[in-house]
Amino acid sequence: MLAREFGSLVPGNALKWKALRSDRGVWTFDVPDQMVEFAEQNGMRVKGHTLAWSKESSYPNWFLMLTRAEQLVAIRDHIQAVVGRYAGRITAWDVWNEAMANDGSGLLGGVSEDDIADAFRWAREADPDVVLLYNDYKIAGSGRKSDDVFAMLQRLVAIGAPVDGVGFQMHANLADAPPSATEIAANMARYEGLGLNVTISEMDVRIADLAGTTDERLEAQANYYRDVVGVCLAAPNCLGVTFWGFTDRYSWIDARHGAADPLLFDENLAATPAYFGVDRKSVV
């Protein structure tokens, strides 16, 4: 199904620190190696997710025991090893993930913009051709966090950090006023003005809390998928859309937020109205 329906693949967890390096000094590349091979055999591109984070919970315990200076050295070594291993095979990387606070209080976890700039530089050194992205949530539309991330990327571009673009995660809840297509298009346009690309990097659409019949909810979901994919297709700087999973059977949403049907294929791998919403826009 993956090979038939999709042109690119993003390992959801297999390239995270906890998966690659649960014990200090031990690297576990079996699963991502298999995924990259699968993608190559099927003519799919691969994006890597993700080299550095600001959330402590995303790192293994041994990393959290290091001093701040040691952590930065470990991040440098990590980026050199992982980007270098897949150079020429992984075509884009989420370099830093979820660094910005939601409430306007700036960067999280004692991370500085210089740290983020360094991470981009190390990734560029390890693969001169790979597309380097900053990735975050609540930044696809308008609002404080979206502006804070834009301002940070403006400064990173100004100092010459090798940033190629930004990922809008796009975990949408239709009952909670997700960004409109107009807002997303305007945001993509301002990044284009900055010379940066954008991607929709982790799209899924929750409808469990939406009013209406099941059919009405599924139709609203299909329309939202259609509109967001349509915005990307129309934006000259939008590199593509990644869905955060392809079947509702394994979506992270059920574990975190309760049963929902956020993706393009249901629990039994049948295409849902959302699939046809995307298809209406994406068939070229």
Site for ligand G3I in 157-196 (CB under 6 A): 169
Interacting residue with ligand G3I among 38, 252, 257, 282 (CB under 6 A): 252
Q: Considering just the CA atoms, what is the radius of gyration of the chain in Å? A: 19
CB within 8 Å of 163: residues ≥ 6 apart: 95, 120, 132, 133, 134, 153, 156, 157, 196
- Minimum Å gap between C-beta 106 and ligand G3I is 20
Rounded Cα–Cα distance for residues 63 and 56 (Å): 9
Binding segment for ligand G3I (CB under 6 A), chosen from 10-18, 30-38, 225-233, 263-271, is 10-18
Q: Is the dihedral of CA 212, 215, 218, 220 positive or negative?
A: negative
**Residue 12 vs 143, nearer CB to ligand G3I:** 12
Rounded Cα–Cα distance for residues 284 and 267 (Å): 28
| 98 counts as catalytic | yes
Q: Pick the catalytic residue: 98, 125, 216, 267?
A: 98
**Residue 13 vs 182, nearer CB to ligand G3I:** 13
Rounded Cα–Cα distance for residues 246 and 6 (Å): 10
**For the stretch 53-63, what's the b/e string if a residue is b when 16 or more beta carbons lie within 10 angstroms of its beta carbon?**
bbeeeebbeeb
Binding mask 51-80 for ligand G3I (x = CB under 6 A): ------------------------------
**Residue 125 vs 254, nearer CB to ligand G3I:** 254
237 touching ligand G3I, by CB under 6 A: no
Helix then strand then coil, in percent of the chain rounded to 5, is 45, 20, 35
- Minimum Å gap between C-beta 212 and ligand G3I is 26
Binding segment for ligand G3I (CB under 6 A), chosen from 9-17, 39-47, 153-161, 181-189, is 9-17
- Minimum Å gap between C-beta 230 and ligand G3I is 23
CB atoms within 10 A of CB 43: 8
Site for ligand G3I in 200-219 (CB under 6 A): 202
How is residue 248 annotated by DSSP? G
Residues marked active site are found at 98, 202
Residue ranges binding ligand G3I (CB under 6 A): 12-13, 16, 97, 169, 202, 252
